[in-house]
Structure 1
Amino acid sequence: MITDARVLQPEFIPSEVKHRDAEVNTLSSVLRPLTDGVRADPAFLYGPSGTGKTCIAQFTVERLRQEVVDVNYQYVNCWEDYSRFKTLYTILDGINNTIDIHRQSTPKDVLLDRLKDYTGPPYVVILDEVDQLQDKSLLYDLYRVKDLTMLLIANKETEVFAEIDDRLTSRLTTATRIHFDHYSRSELTTILNDRVQWGLVPNIIDQERLNLIAAKAAGDARIAIGILRNAARHAHGNSLDEIPTDVIRDVVPETKSEIQQQTIDRLTDHQQTLYDIITDHGTIEPQALYDEYQERVTDPKTKRTVRNHLSKLEHYNLIGSEGNTKGRIYRALT
């Protein structure tokens, strides 16, 4: 039933993208200086999860490399590589410059100095989930690296710029902002049609059922593709020759739970602690939450940073909140 499992994975980058022409054209314009062998200004891609930010960033850079220009590029997931050392290591690894770097003993300054000495073609670094960086000053250091172009990706602009100093703010004010909205139901159906064509045997799902998947995904392509993937697996496992409606409905909770667990698994220690406290209490007000958070960790962050963490947890539907700033209550979501 599944002829190419790759196209049903969230990290798959298609050879063509749908319903993001404006965003691709804007980012292509930003990157145009690379065709002259010089770095481009930073760009900032932001919007809800599942709206194609990561896909469009990688697609646009890959297309530029294939069509016209010699460019190196590296993708960094800052939720996984959130420390200064890990981020610099991954960036250097993209230009094969980590062979003698030891994760336990090499000083962080050595990594940055080595990156500053880079003399290859223009280098594009995609920093996904950039708000997860522990040390935002790294962005300032990367901005100063000759021939390095940064593409920053996050859910909200405020989550990135709330904790950076004036030096970096003044330099990133010129960064092109590219906003991504949720997909419409018809747009998601088109995306699903492509994935069916590329990855499944013909005639196993009709348009009505693809529309149902799109409706259940509520504008999130990651959820839509996940539902399609799990429905195909269930249908195959039960020796069915098509994907029926009841299977689609059955896998929706499973898919959303699967994606939620993947998000929980990626939480930083501080985010995990906040999530655990809220889950333990069911509901809790901000001051009580912060007080218990301070008791559970050895290096508590500021209230401002904690608020940003909580905003991140809310964005990914791990927690909810009610009320205004003074009367706010955080609650666990089951």
Structure 2
Amino acid sequence: MIVDGRVLREDFVPSEAVHRHDEVNLLSETLEPLLYDQRADPSFLFGPTGVGKTCIARYTLAQLCKQEPTVQVAYVNCWQEYTRFRVLYSVLEDVGQTVDIHRSTAKDELFDRLGRTDDQPVVVILDEVDQLEETAALYDLHRLGHVSLVLIANREEELFASFDDRVRSRLRAGTRVRFDRYGTDELAAILAERANKALEPGVVTDDQLRTIADAASGDARVGIGILRSAARRATQQGDEVVTDAGLEAAIPDARTAIRRKTVEGLIEHQRILYDIIASAGEIDPGTLYDAYERRVENPKTKRTLRNYLTKMVHYDLIEAVGKRRGRTYRIVDDEAVDRQ
């Protein structure tokens, strides 16, 4: 049933950007100076999860590199690479300059080595940039005249609140590309494109694709996950097509799989916060911070912890109930979501 599983992966970059032409055009215009051996201004891609920010960044740069093959692209997922060392190392790795670098290499040496790659322009995509613990890496990269930045985050105000003054002042003037949730029709069209490339003809109907799109609530990551789960379930059960019953079962399965993967990707201190909330059922910030500080030797600041919690809210891992002093946190209930 599945003829090309790559197409159903989250990191797959399609050959055409469906329902994101305006966003592609705006990002392309910002990056256009690279075609004339000039540096591009920073680009910011803002929007909720599952709206195509990463996909569009990679798609647009792939198209640009077809026009100007000398441009090098480095992709950094700041959810995993969240320190200055890790960011600089990841960029050097993508441009093939990590020979003789090891964990004891000084950060300034990484920066110097990256500075010596100025014979070719480099575009650095920093995905989940609001996860950075050290914004010094942004300052480093902006100082290099041959490096252009594409920064991906959920919300502008939260991102800039995490910057120190020197980074904020240098990046304030960048181009903003804003992404809204997909409508049901838009997401159904995206899923149809994926199904046409990934699955045998006729195994999933248009009505079923709309059901998936509706269940995903504008989140393409969830929608693709449901389609993948439904196709795998049908294959395992020996069905020649995706059945409605199989699709109904695939919806919670896909959400659970996505949430599990996201939880597994949490950095250490985020995972501690998540586990405390899960154990408590529902907990206020003060009690949460106290429990966190008892578990770790070198606790992060409360501001950093608030950023962690906000990020987990964006990814539907936890939900914040109430406002300010009356706020509490609790784990998102998958069953409650499926009943909506």
TM more than 0.5: yes
Which residue matches 1:148?
A: 147
- Name structure 1 gaps, 5 residues minimum: none
Distance 2:280 2:233 in 1: 36
Give the CA deviation at 1:86. 1.4
Which residue matches 2:24?
A: 24
Distance 1:230 1:284 in 2: 33
Distance 2:34 2:223 in 1: 35
> In the alignment, is the contact (CA less than 8 A) between 1:76 and 1:127 conserved in 2?
yes
Which residue matches 1:186?
A: 185
Give the CA deviation at 1:288. 1.1
Give the CA deviation at 1:63. 0.2
Give the CA deviation at 1:20. 0.3
Give the CA deviation at 1:300. 1.4
- The residue type paired with residue 121 of structure 1 is Q
Distance 1:250 1:204 in 2: 17
Which residue matches 2:303?
A: 304
- The residue type paired with residue 299 of structure 2 is P
Distance 1:237 1:292 in 2: 44
Matches within 5 A, 1:43-192: 43-103=43-103, 105-192=104-191
Which residue matches 1:292?
A: 291
Moved more, 108-117 or 66-75: 66-75
Number of matched residues?
333
Which residue matches 1:41?
A: 41
Give the CA deviation at 1:120. 2.3
Give the CA deviation at 1:69. 4.9
Cα shift readout 1:2-58 (whole Å, capped 9, x = no counterpart): 111110111000111110011000000000100111210110101111100000000
> In the alignment, is the contact (CA less than 8 A) between 1:46 and 1:157 conserved in 2?
yes
- The residue type paired with residue 316 of structure 1 is Y
User: Does the residue aligned with 1:326 lie in a helix, a strand or coil?
Assistant: helix
Distance 1:119 1:67 in 2: 20
Q: Say yes or no: does 1:261 pair with 2:257.
A: no
Distance 1:199 1:331 in 2: 37
Distance 2:80 2:215 in 1: 29
Distance 2:69 2:101 in 1: 30
> In the alignment, is the contact (CA less than 8 A) between 1:137 and 1:164 conserved in 2?
no
Q: TM-score of the superposition, structure 1-length normalised?
A: 0.97
Which residue matches 2:321?
A: 322
Give the CA deviation at 1:83. 1.8
Distance 1:291 1:236 in 2: 48
> In the alignment, is the contact (CA less than 8 A) between 2:135 and 2:167 conserved in 1?
no
> In the alignment, is the contact (CA less than 8 A) between 2:35 and 2:67 conserved in 1?
no
Distance 1:321 1:56 in 2: 30
Distance 1:177 1:299 in 2: 36
> In the alignment, is the contact (CA less than 8 A) between 1:74 and 1:125 conserved in 2?
yes
Cα shift readout 1:194-227 (whole Å, capped 9, x = no counterpart): 1111111111111111111111111010111111
User: Does the residue aligned with 2:152 lie in a helix, a strand or coil?
Assistant: strand
User: Does the residue aligned with 1:181 lie in a helix, a strand or coil?
Assistant: coil
Q: TM-score of the superposition, structure 2-length normalised?
A: 0.96
- The residue type paired with residue 55 of structure 1 is C
Distance 2:247 2:84 in 1: 42
Which residue matches 2:338?
A: none
- Name structure 2 gaps, 5 residues minimum: 334-340
User: Does the residue aligned with 1:96 lie in a helix, a strand or coil?
Assistant: coil
User: Does the residue aligned with 2:326 lie in a helix, a strand or coil?
Assistant: coil
